Structure 1
Amino acid sequence: MKKMIIPALISMLFLLDSCRVVGDIFKAGFYAGITVVVVIIAVIIYFISKFRGGSNR
């Protein structure tokens, strides 16, 4: 039984650590995705205002 505990603990350490890394990657991807969507919406609003003849100050 002791022979199985050590390899199981070592594998759990690596697996749990990799899950945290994957979670951080997805979290960063989430914020990058939100940023891209906001930029695209801003560009669309800019072009709509230019085509509608926005105020020329």
Structure 2
Amino acid sequence: MKTLLRFFPMALVALFMTFCLSSCAAIGDIFKAGAYTGIIGVIVVVGVVIWLVSKLFGGGGSRNS
């Protein structure tokens, strides 16, 4: 239960950003900016998603239990 409560604010922020960001506007801006910007954006988003998943599910590190 403590683990769930510890990550709840981070999940709430991610949910808020999902509802507030318009995907159509973001895609239009990416097309205006160019292909390289889109590629870099996708890499950054995938990296952030991987980081969030690793944080939520205890991504590695040594644990002394």
- Report the TM-score when normalising by structure 1: 0.47
Q: Could you say which structure has the higher helix fraction?
A: 1
TM normalised by structure 2 equals 0.42
